[in-house]
């Protein structure tokens, strides 16, 4: 008789029992305080104002430990601005990990630059520092680092390579809200950071993002690219003492040189101020629950939690899209897709990794954004850094060697033990799936 629900056995959970609204999973946590803060912006008719956004920028700068923060309408916009600020332009190259969300690097194409994709490390799933240096050429302007699925990238190694070659480091901290790297917040370590705060991310404000930097020059460039006068500081654009000190930009004051209006809206900023108050304590609870859950995962054959070693000084913050390494060879060759389907039939909510390797995507290889009759990746005299299938084996294989599961927001041992038992049931009865 079949044990597994996918073959007609009894399911481990009732249908809908593990839905996203149960307290163990419910995220983001919004209370009346959040609702009132947003409503107040509407009542004050201040949706396009700047006061609350300025307050949020200041509070977030303090939280993350950066001198300057600018609010954006999206993470995508913040990353494009960060690239432009670092000097990325026509004919240039950026280096980025292949396994990430497209917004990490797609902005480079609309700046006329090419993306030279690097492979990822099979343990951290972040850009592999060993696959960076040989990719640096005369037109490489930036290395973009993603703290993938909340796991901090190897910043010491990456910063050392960047400094040696005089290349900027852009952190994409969209997955790593609250994650620490050796005593510092991820997002406060590189030259500049772009970070998403859209609804699906750990710090969820709707559609929003930020840049963070300690570099006044990069901050000014970001203002000049898409912020014009509404930052408040930039109101000095039109004062006798001009804010922008970059001689290249000073006479453009008042009109964004990027022709963009990328500012964060105040509903998001108001929500952000309330969320920030409670975020550290919520992160601490998630950390406690997820470490316990991962200890359970690590007892099962073929599974290994995606997390830094406990004594590494690295943490995963709010554990965005938490992942588990999956080793099909240790499970008689059972493909991850079949494992996921069987768990889902038990009414367990795990899923496939949502990203895929980007280096073979036509946008980075064929798209002719400027109608020049050739791919933008080549059109401004770049070297051809395009790569085909097979070039970055770890990034290509990882979606078949991992699965994701929801964050658990507080330590509930019986709840977590039962979830681990459900995974154990599928593993134990995998013979049923291999027939």
Ligand X SMILES: *Cc1c(COP(=O)(O)O)cnc(C)c1O
Note whether 283 and 277 are within 8 A (CB). Answer: no
* Residue 318 C-beta: closest distance to ligand X, Å: 13
Q: Quick count: other Cβ atoms within 10 Å of Cβ 118?
A: 25
- Asked if 50 interacts with ligand X (CB under 6 A), we say no
Q: Which is nearer to ligand X, 18 or 115 (CB)?
A: 115
Given candidates 56, 63, 84, 101, which one binds ligand X under the rule CB under 6 A?
101
In the beta sheet, which residues pair with residue 127? 120
Taking the C-alpha atoms of residue 241 and residue 249, their distance in angstroms, rounded to an integer, is 14
Report in angstroms how near the CB of residue 203 gets to ligand X at its nearest: 11
Least separation in angstroms between CB 121 and ligand X: 16
Tell me how far apart the alpha carbons of residues 242 and 10 are, in angstroms, rounded to a whole number: 71
Instruction: Yes or no: say if 237 and 256 are a contact pair by the CB < 8 Å rule.
Output: no
Q: Is 104 in the site for ligand X (CB under 6 A)?
A: yes
CA distances from 336 to 107, 126, 379 (A): 32, 21, 40
Question: Judging by beta carbons within 10 Å of its beta carbon (0-12, 13-18, 19+), is residue 189 exposed, middle or buried?
Answer: buried
Site for ligand X in 67-96 (CB under 6 A): 74-76, 79
CA distance 19 to 25: 8
- 201 has catalytic annotation: yes
Q: Is 357 helix (H, G, I), strand (E, B) or coil?
A: strand
262 touches ligand X by CB under 6 A? no
From the CB of 105, what's the least distance to ligand X, in Å? Answer: 9
Return the residue matching tokens 């299938």: 389
Is residue 146 near ligand X by the rule CB under 6 A? yes
Distance CA 397, CA 415 (A): 32
Contact between 145 and ligand X by CB under 6 A: the answer reads no
Nearer to ligand X by Cβ, of 94 and 343: the residue is 94
Helix residue ranges per DSSP H, 209-365: 216-226, 266-297, 336-345, 362-365
| Binding flag, residue 66, ligand X (CB under 6 A) | no
Q: Report the residue from 50, 100, 186, 269 that binds ligand X according to the rule CB under 6 A.
A: 100
How many residues sit in the footprint of ligand X (CB under 6 A)? 16
Stretch that binds ligand X, among 169-177, 286-294, 377-385, 410-418 (CB under 6 A): 169-177
Q: State yes or no: residue 365 binds ligand X (CB under 6 A).
A: no
Beta bridge partners of 140: 93
Catalytic residue from among 141, 168, 201, 316: 201
Are the C-beta atoms of residues 270 and 52 closer than 8 Å to each other?
yes
Q: Least CB distance from residue 104 to ligand X, whole Å?
A: 5
198 interacts with ligand X by CB under 6 A: yes
Residue 279, CB-side half-sphere exposure with 13 Å CA sphere: 23
Residue 204 interacting with ligand X (CB under 6 A):
no
User: How is residue 28 written in tokens?
Assistant: 């983001």
Binding mask 8-37 for ligand X (x = CB under 6 A): ------------------------------
Q: How far is the CB of 79 from ligand X (least distance, A)?
A: 6
The catalytic residue positions are 201
Binding site for ligand X (CB under 6 A): 74-76, 79, 100-101, 103-104, 146, 172, 174-175, 196, 198, 201, 209
């Amino acid at each position: 008789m079949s044990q597994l629900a996918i073959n007609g056995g009894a399911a481990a959970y009732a249908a809908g029992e593990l839905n996203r609204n149960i307290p163990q999973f419910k995220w983001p946590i919004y209370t009346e305080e959040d609702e009132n803060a947003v409503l107040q912006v509407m009542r004050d008719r201040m949706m396009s104002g700047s006061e609350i956004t300025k307050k949020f920028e200041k509070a977030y700068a303090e939280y993350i430990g950066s001198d300057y923060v600018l609010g954006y309408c999206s993470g995508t916009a913040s990353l494009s601005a960060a690239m432009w600020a670092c000097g990325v332009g026509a004919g240039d190259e950026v280096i980025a990990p292949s396994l990430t969300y497209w917004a990490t690097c797609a902005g480079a194409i609309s700046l006329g630059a090419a993306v030279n994709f690097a492979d990822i490390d099979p343990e951290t799933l972040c850009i592999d520092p060993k696959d960076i240096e040989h990719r640096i050429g005369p037109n490489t302007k930036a290395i973009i680092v993603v703290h993938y699925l909340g796991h901090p990238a190897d910043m010491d190694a990456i910063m050392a390579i960047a400094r040696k070659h005089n290349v900027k480091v852009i952190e994409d901290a969209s997955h790593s809200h609250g994650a620490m790297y050796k005593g510092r917040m991820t997002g406060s370590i590189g030259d500049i950071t772009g970070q998403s705060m859209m609804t699906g991310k750990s710090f969820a404000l709707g559609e929003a993002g930020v840049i963070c930097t300690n570099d006044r020059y990069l901050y000014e460039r970001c203002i000049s690219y898409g912020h014009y006068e509404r930052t408040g500081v930039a109101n000095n654009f039109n004062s006798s003492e001009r804010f922008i000190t970059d001689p290249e930009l000073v006479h453009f004051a008042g009109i964004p040189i990027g022709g963009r209006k990328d500012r964060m809206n105040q509903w998001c900023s108001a929500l952000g101020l309330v969320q920030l108050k409670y975020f550290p304590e919520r992160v601490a609870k998630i950390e406690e629950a997820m470490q316990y859950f991962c200890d359970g995962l690590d007892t099962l054959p073929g599974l290994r939690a995606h997390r830094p070693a406990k004594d590494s000084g690295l943490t995963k913050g709010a554990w965005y899209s938490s992942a588990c390494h999956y080793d099909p060879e240790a499970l008689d060759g059972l493909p991850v897709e079949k494992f996921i389907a069987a768990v889902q039939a038990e009414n367990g909510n795990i899923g496939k990794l949502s990203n895929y390797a980007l280096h073979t995507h036509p946008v980075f290889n064929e798209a002719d954004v400027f109608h020049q009759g050739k791919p933008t990746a080549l059109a401004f005299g770049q070297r051809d850094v395009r790569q085909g299938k097979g070039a970055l084996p770890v990034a290509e294989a990882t979606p078949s060697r991992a699965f994701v599961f929801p964050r658990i927001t507080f330590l509930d041992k019986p709840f977590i033990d039962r979830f681990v038992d459900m995974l154990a049931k599928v593993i134990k009865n995998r013979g049923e799936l291999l027939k």
